[in-house]
Amino acid sequence: MKEIFILRRPGLIVISGTVKEIRDGGLVIEGDHAFPISGPDTVKVNLNVSNDVISNMRIQKGASVIASTTDHFLVEMLQDGGETPDREFSLDAFVLRYNGSFDFDPHGDSAEEHVIAGIIKTAKKLTKTKNNLPIYQVTVGWKRNGAEELRTILYCGPENVTEKARVIFVTGPLKTHNGSPYYEGKNVFDF
């Protein structure tokens, strides 16, 4: 399932989805959300974006995008496990990307977090496990200004992560082990 609501911080939300429509001054983005009572359903976000951004990015219908946006009290309720009859929201974009990372400093009760979206370049299942779940060492990459950027993530979870898959990881802060930098993956989503 391609989850639309990736991360919520005070004052902002990170969303991901497929561009279904291009309008003057915005995009219509669709993705899925698992509602606790009614189950999985498609959610639509009317994303306010400047026409310059849309034309500079050459956005087309069917493209997968990720964006940091304004917060919305109903989305906050959904992120906290609540249910709402609304399946359509209007949000303003701060930053819109095809892939890459969003980095958030610690704020209040929220720890440092990163949202990393790209293609899995390497995925290695480690021999160690945690809580009977496999641990993967994953390298996620994307192009930025013509150069490839890579991030190493250690992820423990039931999802099978495979090379060439488009994914979004939510991670904690950057750490090092034996001089090698890595992020600890908290959650992974299809992209």
- 68 with 93: CB under 8 angstroms? yes
What is the CA 126 to chain-centroid distance, rounded?
Answer: 24
Domain 103-190, classified CATH 1.10.287.130, yes or no: no
pLDDT given at position 157: 83
Direct distance between the N- and C-terminal alpha carbons of the chain, in angstroms, rounded to an integer = 9
pLDDT < 70 regions, the chain? 1
- 174 with 100: CB under 8 angstroms? no
pTM: 0.87
In this chain, the answer to whether the domains covering 5-98 and 103-190 adopt an identical fold is yes
pLDDT given at position 30: 96
pLDDT given at position 83: 87
Structure tokens at 30: 């669709």
Q: Where are the domains of the chain?
A: 5-98, 103-190
Pairwise CA distance, residues 39 & 26, whole Å: 28
Domain 5-98, classified CATH 2.40.50, yes or no: yes
Question: For 36-68, what is each residue's pLDDT tens digit?
Answer: 888 899 999 999 999 999 999 999 999 999 999
pLDDT given at position 77: 83
